[in-house]
Amino acid sequence: MNAADPNGALIVAVILFSLGALGVLVRRNLLFMLMSTEVMLNAACLAFIAAGNRWHLADGQVMFIMIVAFAAAESAVGLAIILRMHAAGRATLDADTGNRLGG
Amino acid sequence: MTPIPAIVWGVSLVATLLPLVIACPLFVSIILMLTGGKLPARATTLLVGAGMGLCALFAVISAYSFLTGPDSLGALHVVLWNWMQVGNFTAQIALSLDRLSLVMMLVVSCVGFLILVYACAYMYDDPDIARFFAYMTLFVASMLLLVLASDLLAVFVGWEGVGLCSYLLIGFWYGEQANAVAARKAFVVTRVGDALFLLGMLLMATAVGSLDIPTLLAVGPHAPSTTLTLGMFLLLGGAMAKSAQVPLQTWLPDAMAGPTPVSALIHAATMVTAGVYLLARLHGLFVLTPAAMLACAVVGFVTILLAAGSALVQTDIKRILAYSTMSQLGYMYLALGCGAWHAAMFHLVTHAFFKALLFMAAGSIILRVHHEQDIFKMGGLRKDMPWVFTAFLIGSAALAGLPLITAGYFSKELILGSAYEVSPIFWAGALFGAFLTSIYIFRCVFIVFWGGHRTHAHGRSGMAMALPMAILSVLAIAGGWMEMPDAIANVHIFSNLLSPVLGALPQEHGTSLLIVGSLVPIAGVTIAWTLWRPRDVAPTPAESPAIATLRADWGFDTLYDRIFVRPFMVLAHLNRRDFIDRFYDLIAALTQGSGQAIARLQSGQVRRYAGWIAAGTVAALCLAV
Amino acid sequence: MMMFALPALVLIPFLGGFAAWIAGLRGATRPAWAVSLVTLILMLLVLVNVTLASLSAGTGGWFAHFSMPWIPLLGINLRFDLDGLGLVMLWLNALISFPCALLSARNVSERAGLFHFLLLSTIAGINGVFMATDLFLFFFFWELMLLPLFGIILIWGDAGRQRAVLKFFLFTQGSGLLMLLAILGLVIVNAQRTSVITFDYFLLSQTAMITPVAGVLMLGFFLAFAVKLPMVPFHAWLPDTYAASPAAASILLSGVLAKTGGYGMIRFVVMLFPGPAAHLAPVAMTLGVVGILYCAWLAVAQSDIKRLIAYSSISHLGFILLGVFSGTRIGMEGAIAQMVAHGLSTGALFVIAGLLEDRLGTRDMAKMGGLWPAMPQFSAFAMFFAAASLGLPGLGNFVGEFLVLMGTWQVSHTMTFFAAAGLVLSSVYSLTMMLRVFFGPRRSEASSPLGALSVPHVAVLGVAALLLLALGVYPQPVLNLSVPASPHSVSYAQEQAQ
Amino acid sequence: MSFSFLPNAVLVLCLGSLVQLAAISWRRHVARDAVLCVIVLLASLASIMLPTFLIMTGSLPLFSSDSWGSYAGALIILSVIAIVLMSRHGAISADPSVNSEYFILLTLATLGGVAMTCAVNVISFFLGLETLSLSLLGLIAFRNERLDAGEAAMKYLLLSGVASATLIFGFALIFAETGSLRFAMPDLSHLPEPMIGTMGVILVLTGMFFKLSAVPFHLWLADVLEGTTIPVASLVAVTSKIALFAAMLRYFSSVNLGVPSAQVNEILIVAVLSMLGGNLMAVVQTDLRRLLAGSSIAHVGYLLVAFLSPQPFGVASAAFYLAAYAISTLGVFAIMNGVLPQGRDIREWHGLFRRKPAAALAMSIMLISLAGIPPAVGFFAKFYIVAAGVSAHQILLLFVLILSSTIGLFYYLRLILIMLTPAPEGYVSRAELSMPTPANATLIAVLACATLVLGIVPGALVDRSQGIVVTPVPIPVHSTIP
């Protein structure tokens, strides 16, 4: 199958997406969870590219660029927040321990 | 549709006086209530005397002018105002005076007057005298309304008013729990009858469209017989409760908790006879329902014997009289059941005389032996209070029906005769009842007045107490002479008076019955003498379980207590928190619980949150695909 | 002039309440009290004026009408109409509101201004309920009248008020939402039929007659009113609420608020959905009888005097249900008479209970007993109202109960029989109350010295007694006046509307 | 060749944020920035009323300006203005949570929200959404001295990251099927593989429900509200929800939600769950903010009832309800912020009627409005929604609504009850009363008045909302594969 085959690409994207989701669910390290969300977004990117290719439309690429930009911003903010939390005295990156909110 | 000319208030003398007969005691009562016991005792007694005197006077005058008036054979119909009128149903506050209600009115007002005069002396020292007479006069007023009202619903007003007043008077000395309880019992038991009465009225009103008694008598016969029978049974039930007939008799003995004049007025002369009067008033419908009449006769028959039986073993003088009242009313019901309206009414009148007399005498005895009521603690009072003794003796003689010289004799003979007409069994039973009556009343007489002193009497009853007793003693003897069987003397004043309303008197029977009826009381007295004549040892009440049961009204009380009262109260207390309410609490608890469960999802673990999101999405996908 | 009398009946108490609030801001009790009394008197005068005008208009039909647009886009108007039933109810409300204001003087010491504001706005809401003929407006008032009461009970109530008041509110509001559903359903059905959105009672009544879903819609109304009345098994809120309320609130609740349920039953169930109501009647009447017996039975077992009166009150309200659904004119009239009489008698009984609580500091009848010598005058009043509530002939309640029973008898003998049994039970609990509180040996040593009655108390109880007596011996005026006008009877008010 | 508008508000807000940036870069002055922010917002509000300045022609319509968009936009801007007013709490320098950037972030959030309300293209919608959520993220994390803020922000970041990814992946799938990025639900029946399309729509719904915090995607809300400052909390609870609901309504405006389908069923189930879940959750909360979170979840459920009920009432009632909900919720938050900033535990509120009657009264009015009791606006809003539901025969939803709002009454009334009764023995209050700033006080007063006035004479707003129409975006049809 060639790389531009939309259905094949879509299947890959779906797999990628589920991997990302799985990552968020199973990983306990905040950084890895952040990365998993990036993976999910990238799956979306792939899907858009494939779809754009399928319809010979530029919209796919537009979305791709936007998503990448968003992903970058999001991860930047995320890292900033993690740093802040560290500075504010949260010792661990573990998502499960040291939660104060909830209940 | 009413055959009677309706007269608006104020046109004729009678029509003017009739409402006043009721109004006098009513106003006295209202005044006493409003002044709230601030009046001095003397003023109170004077007020009561004046009010009741006027009442009796008006009654006599209106009676006289009615009998001499144009429509003395018919009835006089005084419409006061329309009570309620909805759709095709109308109820009026109207008074009607015919010969029947006239007799009743005279009995109530005059005997009532005497009793209240007596009471003025009896209650003079009681701090609550004003309250007492407020109730008493209100009672007389409602009794008169009951008697005179021409609309059954208005009769019911008096009917219930009488009940309320008796409640208040029985519980007059509310300081003792027992009195208040007895009062409540009396009201509730009679209330059962009232409910039946009410249902009867509803049935009549729907069948006939009106509760106006003349209309009922006129139109009622056209109603379907089943309806009529049912209605009559319901009314009979109401009457029985008021008149303390088996099986609704249990309240009367306890009702003796009230002051003695109360017993004299309510439980002898007037209130308990309301039932008899009601049935006599409706006899036109009553005759059409043989089943109801038979039931009425049987009830009376049973009551005579049961009441006499337990009267035989009582130790409390007032209870003896109470049971005697029951059994005497039994005679009246028997008479009604046998269709002998004259006999019933006649006995009602004479009974009012001698029973009031007996209670007054008993009252003065009780007063003078420090409120001692146990006859076995009395004795030899013959010498201490000769006059009271005489009065009591006359009363007892009349109650026992000693031949010729007493009023009781003639009225009872009339009843026995008509009972024989219907069935010899009734006759025999009634006769046996008379036998018992003479035994138990003279047992009381011999124990109380003969033998040695067991308590000493003090003081003497004043004029105000003596006079009524004197008058009533005369009536208790002479009252019977206005109606005599032909065998003795051809006097029929009473039946002639009533026959326009109640129809002609049934014809006479042989003298044999008369003779038997005359011998039985004498036999009873002799037996009583042999049993309880004064001996050197003080008499003591015979004791045995059977007698105890007998004394406790054949165990009716305990039976009702077991069957109705106790289960009702126990269950009520078990459910006092209302299980329906608990059910709602359960729902609230469930809500809280599920809230907790949902809140517990927010564990604060971000991965679990993500898990829920994923789960939701997957679920949605599964649902979609 | 008549036009503006109707909204005035709502506005006067409301504004007066504001005035009372302002007057009471500086913590003074007297001025607020005075202002609210003046307001009530003013309201009474307006009411008298309305009544005279109505009587001149002749009985039956619709007397007065007022209408102005509110939310025109949804066809919602500020529409008031007055018929005999509404008029009688307004009178009851006016009469009951006086004791609430009068007697509050002694047991509301602080924040009297707020109290009178809440009280008067409740009264305004109730007035609105009795006059509103725009369904949205009706619902608005229906919900509105509860809110101030919530405040009164919460601020001045007794122990356990939090729970009680929440219960009260959840029951009434929940059922109210059902009614809202029904109202909207009716409106939508009507809109589909006539393609015009309106909440007008008279216009909707046409649709209500013919729509196939009338049964469901009626059920929504019925449940709301059944909870408010209350009807067994929706009565659970009532005893707690009455027991926890301050005297004024329990008087208002038992005297008038319960009657709004009965009023609604007549106007919005029986009159609006005659057919389905007839189908529902057996159920409703059975529940009414069950309520009469069950609650009378519960009343016997209570030791808290307020709870006893509360249960007795439910038991009496069963007669209203019975009468309304008997489907006979006589039963309906009886129900209305019963509403008035019951309002007076139970209100008075709550005055008495409140006074007892005031003087003795307890509601537990086990701690009372033998009070008659201590307060004879008061006890006599108690006896009177106890007699009234056990349905003594010659007093108002008897008229109501007798007519209801008569109406019921024409429908079902057995039900009548059981209802009459309720009369026996009513005598049991009433006299038990008298026995445990006033008769017997004096048991309440701990109680404070019991003074004589204050003048307002005598006045209130006396007036109530007189009115009950009048209603008992000559109910005809009320019976004539209180004929509910049917929505289909085209009156001059309606002609004005079109 | 289709026209595309650039809504004035978007334009004004962009320029405004630039101006604010410039101002900061010149010299920091918090008070000035705050004022500037308000000015910008007012300007954008005014610009909504004006006709569109900028109409550019292009093949790719990004925005449309219709009455719905401008109504929601106006609502968003007003709510943000309210938030700015309540933000100025305490001395400016003392509270680091209110710095110049704070106001820029607010402006940006508004920009994102407004953009979402009138986006007709996935691109513009996504742009708006992310602008909103990123600035929200910044605002949540703003109180950097508090650990809670960080945690809340982190949770929001991760979860909204997941949600956005899901959303955008859904769009990708739909795009793959339809080849169009128009922001409208595709007609699934005419697709080569309807399954993929359905999957796409479901994923999109997931993303939207997450932002709306509808059960079962609601779990983040309570934590975030608890963790952040009150103004930001109200931003999360009110503004973002308005924006997203507006967009959602537009997305589904082209399809008839009356006919059952997979996504309609999902919305229905979610609505039921949200109504019940939100109220049940709130019943047991002792933290006021978590309680309000529950209440806002429940209100989303009510909104979904209106959402599922088509014309004539659907949109109008939704519009009205949004306004009512915004007013009351903002009011509650404003009072919390002004009177009892540390009043997290509801027991802190005991006896407020004695201590601060006016505030307590205002609070009760708000709560009554949320509970839907007259004479507050919430009553009419609920009435309106029920009307919509009845007209659409949503019997199940209506019964759930009644049941759940009866449950809801319980905790709203319990709050009033708490304010009326003195504190229980043995409870030591940690929070001290504070005096609301003039701005905050006026805000509270205005909101309270609005609640009552709109409740008693809702006519004006009803007319406004009846006039609202959502111009449906042309449905993306399946163009032939070349």
For the stretch B223-269, pLDDT in tens is 888 889 999 999 999 999 999 898 888 888 888 888 888 888 887 77
Is D159's CB within 8 Å of B615's CB?
A: no
Q: How far apart are CA D278 and CA B141, in angstroms?
A: 69
pLDDT of C59: 61
Task: Please give the pLDDT value at position D449.
Answer: 96
Least confidently predicted of B620-624, C26-30, C376-380: C26-30
DSSP D190-246: GSSSHHHHHHHHHHHHHHHHHHHT-TTS-HHHHHHHHHS-HHHHHIIIIIHHHHHHH
| Confidence (pLDDT) at D30 | 81
> For D374, which of C74, C143, C151 is closest by C-beta distance?
C143
The whole-number pLDDT of residue B78 equals 87
Is D456 buried (19+), middle (13-18) or exposed (0-12) by CB count in 10 A?
middle
| Chain B residues near residue A100 by CB distance under 8 angstroms | 604
pLDDT at B28 over 50: yes
> Tell me, what DSSP letter sits at residue B555?
G
Inter-chain CB proximity D199 and B601 less than 8 Å: no
Lowest mean pLDDT among C314-323, D83-92, D241-250: D83-92
Region of D42 on the Ramachandran plot (φ > 0 left; ψ -120 to 50 alpha; else beta): alpha
Q: Give residue B254's pLDDT.
A: 87
- At C489 the pLDDT is 67
| pLDDT beyond 50 at C494 | no
Kind and range of the H or E run holding D5: strand D2-6
Residue D477 is which amino acid?
V
Look at residue B425 and tell me whether its pLDDT is greater than 60: yes
DSSP letters spanning B256-286: GGS-HHHHHIIIIISGGGHHHHHHHHTHHHH
Quick one: pLDDT band at residue B303, thresholds 50, 70, 90? very high
pLDDT of residue B3: 44
pLDDT value at B124 more than 80: yes
Determine the average pLDDT of the residues in C352-369.
Answer: 86
- Compute the average pLDDT of residues B450-474: 83
Mean of all residue pLDDT scores within chain C:
88
Judged against a pLDDT cut of 60, whether residue B615 lies above it is answered with yes
Q: Are B333 and B434 in contact (CB under 8 A)?
A: no
Tell me whether residues B617 and D284 touch, CB distance under 8 A: no
Spell out which chain B residues touch chain D, with contact meaning CB-CB distance below 8 angstroms.
Answer: 591-592, 594-596, 598-599, 601-602, 604, 606, 608-610, 612-613, 615-617, 620-621, 623-625
Determine if the peptide bond prior to C246 is cis (ω within 30°).
no
How far apart, in Å, are the Cα atoms of C254 and each of B431, C346, C356, C382? 59, 7, 18, 17
Choose among B164, B569, B573: nearest Cβ to C387: B164
- pLDDT of B505 > 80? The answer is no
Nearest to D386 among C71, C73, C181 (CB): C181
Q: Which residues of chain D have a Cβ shorter than 8 Å from any chain B Cβ?
A: 154-155, 158-159, 162-163, 166, 195, 198-199, 201-203, 205-206, 209-210, 216-217, 219-220, 222-223, 262-263, 265-266, 269, 277, 280-285, 290, 407, 410
Query: How many Å lie between the alpha carbon of B33 and the closest alpha carbon of chain C?
Result: 9
Domain boundaries, chain B: 295-323+340-541, 577-624
Mean pLDDT of B474-502: 85
Residue C47, φ and ψ in degrees, nearest 5: -60, -45
Closest partner residue to B37 among C300, C376, C473, by Cβ?
C376
pLDDT in tens, C182-239: 999 999 999 988 888 899 999 898 888 888 889 999 999 999 999 998 898 999 999 9
Measured between CA atoms, the residue of chain D closest to residue A73 is D134
Q: How many domains does chain C have?
A: 1
Q: How far is B587 from chain A (nearest CA, A)?
A: 24
Query: Which residue segment(s) compose the domain that D116 sits in?
Result: 2-466
Shortest CB distance from B623 goes to which of D262, D277, D283?
D262
The length of chain A in residues reads 103
Residue A69 makes CB contacts below 8 A (sequence gap 6+) with: none
- Judged against a pLDDT cut of 60, whether residue D70 lies above it is answered with yes
Question: C289 in helix, strand or coil?
Answer: helix
Output the pLDDT for position C281.
93
C81, C61, C82, C79: which is closest to C199 by C-alpha? C79
Dmax over CA atoms of chain B, in Å, equals: 118
Given a cut of 70, whether residue B623 has pLDDT beyond it is yes
**Does D463 have pLDDT greater than 60?**
yes
Contacts of A102 in chain B (CB under 8 A): 602-605
**What is the predicted pLDDT for the residue at D256?**
81
Residues in D touching C147 (Cβ below 8 Å) = 368, 373-374
User: Among B290, B318, B325, which residue's Cα sits nearest to residue B304?
Assistant: B325
Nearest to A23 by CA among D220, D217, B614: B614
- Residue A82 to residue D147, Cβ atoms within 8 A: no
Hey, which of B544-553, C146-155, D309-318 has the most confident mean pLDDT? C146-155
Res D117: pLDDT: 93
Neighbour count for residue C498 (Cβ, 10 Å)? 7
How much of chain B, in percent, has pLDDT values that exceed 90? 45
Name, in order, each residue with C-beta under 8 angstroms of C242's C-beta and a sequence gap of 6 or more. Answer: C250, C253, C254, C306, C307, C309, C310, C313, C350
- Of the candidates C71, C147, C151, the beta carbon closest to that of D373 is on C147
Helix (H) or strand (E) holding B323: helix B317-337
| Residue B385 confidence (pLDDT) | 85
B528 token code pair: 């009583």
Q: What domains are there in chain A, each with its CATH number?
A: 9-88 (1.10.287.3510)
Omega of the bond leading into B40 within 30 degrees of 0 (cis): no
* Residue B607 forms contact with A (CB below 8 Å): yes
Residues in contact with C80: Cβ distance below 8 Å, sequence separation at least 6, in sequence order: C6, C7, C10, C64, C65, C66, C67, C128, C131, C132, C133, C137
User: Would you say B307 and B548 are in contact if contact means Cβ atoms under 8 Å apart?
Assistant: no
The answer to whether B304 and B429 are in contact (CB under 8 A) is: yes
Question: With 80 as the cut, is the pLDDT of residue D473 above it?
Answer: no
Q: What is the ipTM of this complex?
A: 0.89
D121 located within any domain: yes
**What pLDDT, on the 0 to 100 scale, is given for residue D145?**
63
**Which chain C residues contact residue D379 at CB under 8 A?**
140, 143
Distances (CA, A) of B408 to B397, B475, D166: 8, 11, 109
Q: Look up the domain containing C217 and give its range.
A: 2-497
User: Which pLDDT tens digit goes with each residue over D273-329?
Assistant: 999 999 999 999 999 999 999 999 999 999 999 999 876 788 999 999 999 999 999
Report whether pLDDT(D93) > 80.
Answer: no
Partner-chain residue, chosen from C71, C150, C177, that has the shortest CB–CB distance to D458 = C71
- Which DSSP helix (H) or strand (E) runs through C124? helix C112-131
Q: Is the pLDDT of residue B453 over 60?
A: yes
- Within an 8 Å CB–CB cutoff, is residue C202 touching chain B? no
Q: At residue A36, does pLDDT exceed 90?
A: yes
Residues of A (67-86) whose Cβ lies below 8 Å from D: 67, 70, 73-74, 77-78, 80-82, 84-85
| H and E: helices and strands count for chain C | 21, 2
C-alpha D358: how far from its chain's center? 27
Which residues on neighbouring strands pair with residue D55, listed in sequence order? Answer: D5
pLDDT band (50, 70, 90) for residue A3: very low
Domain count for chain D, please give it: 1
Q: Confirm whether D440 is domain-assigned.
A: yes
Q: Over the stretch C57-112, which tens digit does the pLDDT of each residue have?
A: 766 678 888 899 998 888 899 999 988 899 999 999 999 999 888 887 666 777 88
Mean pLDDT to the nearest integer, B529-543: 81
Look at residue C492 and tell me whether its pLDDT is greater than 60: no
With an 8 Å Cβ cutoff, are A21 and B614 in contact?
yes
> Binning pLDDT at 50, 70 and 90, where does residue D1 land?
very low
User: Which chain A residues contact residue B606 at CB under 8 A?
Assistant: 33, 95, 99
Which of D391, D406, D459 lies closest to C173 in CB terms? D406
| Nearest residue of chain B to residue D154 (CA atoms) | B606
Whether the predicted pLDDT of D453 surpasses 90: yes
User: Taking the C-alpha atoms of C17, C19, C21 and C27 in order, what is their torsion angle to the nearest 10 degrees?
Assistant: -140
Band of pLDDT at residue B51, cut at 50, 70 and 90: very high
Best B587, B606, B607, B622 residue to mutate vs chain D (most D CBs within 10 Å): B606
Give the residue-averaged pLDDT of C376-386: 91
